[in-house]
Amino acid sequence: MKYLIDSANLEDIRYGNEFYPIDGVTTNPSLVSKEKKDFAELIDAIRGIIGNGKMLHVQATAKKAEDIVAEAQLLRERLGEKFYVKIPIGEEGLKAMPMLKEKGIGITATAIFTPQQALIAAKAGADFVAPYVNRLDNITADGVQVVADIVELFDIYQLDCQVLAASFKNVEQLHRVALVGAHSATISVDLLKAAIAHPMTDSAVEGFDRDWAAAYGDKTVADLL
Ligand code: E4P
């Protein structure tokens, strides 16, 4: 499964990129606005941190298909081949998708809440669809089941489109979308940290350190070789 960081915060992105095997970064207009920075400088800085080899998903804000395409082209020129334009599912977005496909620009259909939205976006040419798991759970729908249905539909119809599960609030949601075959998930750095944290791991490491120190004091493995 691919892991992406869902953030526009440079500190978080730098941290996540340094310590975790991430495949890219996703942003959205809300995440970007929170940073109160010059937009162009911010996305350039994100690209600078993760390098050209990792995916960077940035949302278009235009409403008409032709304007979405124009924005995507500008972003692509700036952010390179591994840029994906996020487009909320809707008629103008669906119209823009084949045009973007033609130009070889990566597409992520976002704000997905139903399997049919995902299926139609995939048919229109989206490379990724982003279902919002926690927002579905919050309205007592089943976010994981929506992801599972989309994965199944893409499989049945052999569509060349991946699920980029989004909107997570806990590790259980992340684990369950992984189990149903989500190809990727975009999460906060805090959730990445929570996903690897375990008190038994801490206690195991404490035991190793105690036993080692009893035998070799403060010498490290390298010191003894
Ligand atoms: C992803 O495309 C969305 O921007 C994001 O994951 C939404 O998450 P939220 O529900 O925590 O705002």
CATH code of 45's domain = 3.20.20.70
Domain count along the chain? 1
Please tell me the predicted confidence (pLDDT) of residue 82. Answer: 98
- CA 120/CA 157 separation, integer angstroms: 12
| 26: helix, strand or coil | strand
Q: Is residue 37 part of a domain?
A: yes
Q: Is residue 222 part of a domain?
A: no
Compute, in angstroms, the gap from residue 132 CA to the centroid of ligand 1: 6
Compute, in angstroms, the gap from residue 219 CA to the centroid of ligand 1: 46
Please tell me the predicted confidence (pLDDT) of residue 171. Answer: 98
Compute, in angstroms, the gap from residue 99 CA to the centroid of ligand 1: 26
Q: Is residue 223 part of a domain?
A: no
Q: Is residue 155 part of a domain?
A: yes
Q: Domain range holding 137?
A: 2-197
Residue with CA closest to ligand 1 atom 5: 167
Which contiguous run of DSSP H or E holds residue 138?
A: helix 133-138
Q: Is residue 86 part of a domain?
A: yes
Catalytic choice (37, 63, 86, 219): 86
Query: Is 86 part of the annotated catalytic residue set?
Result: yes
Please tell me the predicted confidence (pLDDT) of residue 48. Answer: 98
Kindly list the averaged pLDDT for each block of 10 residues, start to end, along the chain of length 225.
Answer: 98 98 98 98 98 98 98 98 98 98 98 98 98 98 98 98 98 98 98 98 98 98 98
The closest of 74, 20, 11, 48 to 187, measured between CA atoms, is 20
Q: Is residue 159 part of a domain?
A: yes
Q: Is residue 54 part of a domain?
A: yes
